[in-house]
Chains A and B, each alone.
Chain A
Amino acid sequence: MAEKEKKKGGFFQSVKEFVYGVAAHDSARFALKTRASMEHLFILITMGDMLGVPILPPYYSLRLLPYVVPQISTWKRRMLREKDLTDGLA
């Protein structure tokens, strides 16, 4: 689909993409990044007990589990990543 549109659009399409890249790409990236942080926050408050942070009676959080399966491993890595002074020294 995208490929086809590109061919059809030709010059205009390139201009459009250039303008997007200069003006909006950074903002879009920022929006997505914020979104990703919120996603992790969201998993923390719903699935927190996976990290040993009991937050909620887990009956309903189990309902949400299927949707966050792909994010679980990256989320755990992010949440457990320690950041303190000694890390810099080591």
Chain B
Amino acid sequence: MSLTKIFEQYPDRRYIMFGGKGGLGKTTFSAATSYYLAKKGKKVLVFSVDPQASLTDIFQKDIFGKGPTEIIPNLYAQEIDADKRVKAYQQEVRQKILDMYGMDKIPEEIESYIQAAAAEPAMEESAIFDEVVDIVVRGGYDYYIYDLVPLGHALYYLSMASVYDAWIDKITKLREQMREYDQVAAVMQREKELDEDAILNELLYIKERINKSSSILTDKAKTAFFFVLTAEDMIIKDTQKAAALFAKFDVPLSGYIINRVLPSELKSENIPEYLKNRFLMQEHYLEVIKNDFGNEILASVPEMERDVTGLPMIEKLAKAMFGDF
């Protein structure tokens, strides 16, 4: 199986994700894949869900907080400014309170709650999570490429969806029960009409949004999740562990891509002992990877002569991933 074949064989897989430990090349592969698809004439959005995003660096264009920005025809990149979104959201909540109760100032107690809530570490992630739902619901692209956070965070991100989901389910039920009591009282007091429960509606809205994003993450028909790894002991082990965890969350794994493979042409040249040892190590672990992951390995990408930033390097890397196009 090759990467190109996967994309040709499953054209419905429109949500593309690369996962892996930090620094292995998730952002690089996201950028290169978006470049490849755009050149194939697909309209692509590559966006970062990482608060420390680096799409700006790889495309060498400041896109932070600027919404989808065109890089080349058909290729759009976006970095979410979580801070800005949280601030706007706080303001929205404040305005709603002022409007609902005709107040001209937020009560101190409430204001301090709004501020404390925004200082929570989970707030940034949640804000990004929420924006991603916006992006996906809005539509308009053939492909969505998630530049994911490192593994631990990605797992958190995934589990957040299921935790949220279970929690919202519970409180929605409680709210519905409350509504039944309201109805009982209303019937006995012979009130004909019952006000709509705004909170219940709000909960149902939240539930729908969470379902939307978690259903994409676990949709085998529409989502392709690729793991990035390198030929090193620790990374192979961590990848196996992570793959097992991801499988638990029903994330559809499409395959593995090996990055940073030292080109074997070098071996025939007169190279120092240091590099010879690196080659020995690499051969050993490539063998391990082959045994463990077999035909799920989709591509093997060589270590480049320089870091991958800017379009010419992105193109070169894309060709290493997908072959000539």
B93-A65 in contact (CB<8A): yes
Asked if B265 CB lies within 8 Å of chain A CBs, one says no
- Complex CA gap A85/B9 in Å reads 72
Asked if A88 CB lies within 8 Å of chain B CBs, one says no
B120-A58 in contact (CB<8A): yes
User: Considering residues A20, A32, A72, which has the most beta carbons from chain B within 10 angstroms of its beta carbon?
Assistant: A32
Asked if B267 CB lies within 8 Å of chain A CBs, one says no
Q: What residues on A are CB-neighbors of B254 within 8 Å?
A: none
Asked if A64 CB lies within 8 Å of chain B CBs, one says yes
Task: Give the secondary structure class of B's interface.
Answer: helix
Chain B positions 256-315 with a Cβ under 8 Å from a chain A Cβ = none
A56-B167 in contact (CB<8A): yes
A-B contacts counted at CB < 8 A amount to 104
- Complex CA gap A38/B185 in Å reads 14
B93-A58 in contact (CB<8A): no
Closest Cβ neighbor of B198 among chain A residues: A67
Interface residues on A, range: 35 or more
Asked if A31 CB lies within 8 Å of chain B CBs, one says yes
With A35-B178, A66-B97 already in contact, the answer to whether A42 and B171 are too (CB < 8 A) is yes
- Complex CA gap A57/B117 in Å reads 9
A42-B175 in contact (CB<8A): yes
Q: What residues on B are CB-neighbors of A56 within 8 Å?
A: 167
A38-B110 in contact (CB<8A): no
Sample (22) of A-B pairs whose CB atoms are under 8 Å apart: A25-B188, A27-B188, A31-B185, A32-B181, A35-B185, A38-B178, A42-B171, A46-B171, A49-B116, A57-B125, A58-B123, A58-B126, A59-B123, A60-B168, A62-B114, A63-B93, A65-B110, A65-B113, A66-B96, A67-B100, A68-B199, A69-B101
| A residues in contact (CB < 8 Å) with B | 20, 24-25, 27-28, 31-32, 34-35, 38-39, 41-42, 45-47, 49-50, 56-70, 72-73
Contacts A31-B184, A69-B100 aside, 10 further interface pairs with beta carbons under 8 A come to A32-B185, A38-B177, A38-B178, A38-B181, A41-B174, A42-B174, A64-B203, A67-B198, A68-B199, A69-B101
